[in-house]
Amino acid sequence: MGAPCSSLYRLSGIVVTLGLSLGAGHAVGQERYPTKAVRLVVPFAPGGGADISARTIAQKLTERLGQQFIVENRAGGGGNVGTEYIARAAPDGYTLLLVSSSYGANPSLYKLSYDPVSGFEPITLVSQQPFIAVVHPSLPVKSIEALVALAKARPGEIAFASSGAGGIQHLALEYFKSATGVDILHVPYRGGASAHTDLIAGNVQMTFGTILSTLNMVQTHKVRALAVTTAQRSSALPDTPTMIESGVAGFVVTGWYAVLAPANTPAAITTLLNREIVALLQAPEVKQRLAKEGSTVAATTPEELIRHLRSEIAKWAKVTRAAGIRLDATR
């Protein structure tokens, strides 16, 4: 059998040779990638942190690879609607998925039609960031300690907005309630943007917002930041204490985003995408933008992403069991 054919394509002015395996039982032929638009599916509503990250990646990949990378929002089911859609998509590199930290919790909350590890091809972890505990300015608290005291004095009266039941915001709230003994009302929305709109309007009083989607709200004084949820303070909010500094021992919740492809996507394509996304994340303007927003670039190998996913799945399984959270009655 002859040597595999290679195809030449131009990338940033450099001719690159790429042999594309078209899958088991298929011949290896001359084929360029990408030759048409690529969809990057976000399983959440527009306007949240996942959507912001996806649009940054899509814009840069469009510039680097010469084809349109289009963000498509498919919200619902705690991210499962869009994720299951990609799990069934053709493994040809033209439909990709950007997932958030809720992806690690969903195996404990739902009966899934896909395996969260083997059901996809890992490409790379994108970034990591803290959540910010924020409250509406009308709530008379300026610290986590004061929030806890008020919540204990007014059980069930403070309303907490999340982007959906079972998402990381919701789980962070349950973690917080368990750690502090407070009773706070959970109000789920269909996406972070809607939750933020009602928070700004004062219809709900607090949330744990991703720093990507909440920082501007803090800086424009639409909400008040009480603490960040990472082990160290954020460079974007250096004067805001951590939850641990605020008296909630051991409380650490980190947000993250990652890119996946349908299982059996050719290795040549996933390798190319890993290389290009890692490169664009290392670009000074992207790193500076993420740092300004409080995020840390977390470009990884596919193998490192797999280890990260397994660790997150195990961590949130413990939290959901302790809180008794089950969203799928058949599970």
Closest CA to 45 of 207, 193, 197: 193
Q: What is the pLDDT of residues 21-80, one digit of tens each?
A: 333 333 333 468 999 999 999 998 898 778 888 999 999 999 999 999 999 999 988 789
Average pLDDT of span 165-183: 90
The chain-wide mean pLDDT, for the chain, equals 88
Per mean pLDDT, which range of 109-118, 160-169, 199-208, 305-314 is the poorest?
Answer: 160-169
Kindly indicate the confidence band of residue 278, based on its pLDDT and cuts at 50, 70 and 90. Answer: very high
Average pLDDT of span 92-102: 95
Average pLDDT of span 319-325: 83
Quote the percentage of the chain above a pLDDT of 90: 68
3-state secondary structure of 130: strand
Kindly indicate the confidence band of residue 198, based on its pLDDT and cuts at 50, 70 and 90. Answer: very high
State the angle between helix axes of 192-201 and 211-219 in degrees (0 to 180), rounded to the nearest 10: 20
Residue 13 has pLDDT above 50, yes or no: no
Kindly indicate the confidence band of residue 12, based on its pLDDT and cuts at 50, 70 and 90. Answer: very low
CA distance 317 to 173: 15
Per mean pLDDT, which range of 223-232, 260-269, 286-295, 321-330 is the poorest?
Answer: 321-330
DSSP alpha helices (H): ranges in 28-143?
49-65, 80-87, 106-109
pLDDT recorded at residue 2: 45
Residue 192 has pLDDT above 60, yes or no: yes
Q: Which domains does the chain have, with CATH numbers?
A: 7-128+255-323 (3.40.190.150), 130-228 (3.40.190.10)
CB atoms within 10 A of CB 66: 14
* φ, ψ of residue 159 in degrees (nearest 5): -100, 130
26's CB contacts (< 8 A; 6+ apart) are: none
Kindly indicate the confidence band of residue 226, based on its pLDDT and cuts at 50, 70 and 90. Answer: very high
Residue 16 has pLDDT above 80, yes or no: no
